[in-house]
Structure 1
């Protein structure tokens, strides 16, 4: 079974952990000095926050698979639909070793498809040779530049009444 993934950058990790813990009704499953993650079952989501980004807000979305077969299915679907895919293969990021690839939607939103292989004690194990793009983050060339990218969008919230 697959799990929806959201990774957001935050300015204040402590305040954000407190907020999301109350919102989800659960404490994070992993907390590091620059990172926290909740593995929620209802709804089935892997929600992560970190202080590693330059601008607060959504960094990327993704789908985490439970098996290599599910990841291969997502990759085959993307390739058969002729979607531009950046295949990273096995890499380390976000305190985990994973097999992954990236897609970027028409708005420039990065989508990560990955299968977690193991937990690691550091955010990322850097290769000895310099990498052209971080395997942890989508390649910047795949992200179209947008004047509104990374800027919060104001959404009016009404009390009472119905919505959606």
Structure 2
């Protein structure tokens, strides 16, 4: 089963957690100093916010799947549609380890399809003390013609 994913970069995490907790009628399932996530069943969505983006607003959208088979099905759709995408395997991002495919829609919005494999203790797999760059900047593989705008901005997107 798929779960829609939205990641929003925010300026004030505490105020945003309060706002979205009120809107969703529940507290986040994950809260860190720079990140919060709600795993909602109604509507079925993985909604995340962080202070990690370069600009405030929607950082990226995605589809989270429950199995590697579902992820391969989504990859097949991207291949058939001849949409460029980037493959990332065992990537550490947003306090989780995942297999992912990144693409960009015609309007320039970043999309990820991913299967979460487990949690990690840091925002990135390799947390740097002074780094504010987001994860998912790996060059672990590529298929098709990847959008160059996404290529240059991919480092700000994750989870």
- The alignment's TM-score, normalised by the length of structure 1, stands at 0.79
Which of these two proteins has the greater Rg computed from alpha carbons? 1
Report the Cα offset of residue 140 of structure 1: 8.5
Match of 1:51 in 2: 51
Contact persistence 1:124–1:136 (CA under 8 A): no
Q: Which has the higher contact order (CA 8 A, sep 6+)?
A: 2
Equivalent pairs, count = 140
Contact persistence 1:96–1:116 (CA under 8 A): yes
The answer to whether residue 107 in structure 2 is matched with residue 102 in structure 1 is: no
- Counterpart-to-counterpart distance in 1, 2:77 and 2:147: 23
Distance 1:118 1:97, change over 3 A: same
- Counterpart-to-counterpart distance in 1, 2:65 and 2:126: 24
CA RMSD of aligned residues (A): 2.4
Gaps of 5+ in 2: 128-133, 139-145, 153-159
- The alignment's TM-score, normalised by the length of structure 2, stands at 0.82
The answer to whether residue 144 in structure 2 is matched with residue 143 in structure 1 is: no
Report the Cα offset of residue 144 of structure 1: 8.5
Which structure's residues are more often helix, by fraction?
2
* Aligned residue runs from structure 1 range 9-88, under 5 A: 9-88=9-88
Deviations 1:14-55 (A, max 9, x none): 000000000000100000000000000000000000001121
Local SS of the residue matching 1:143: helix
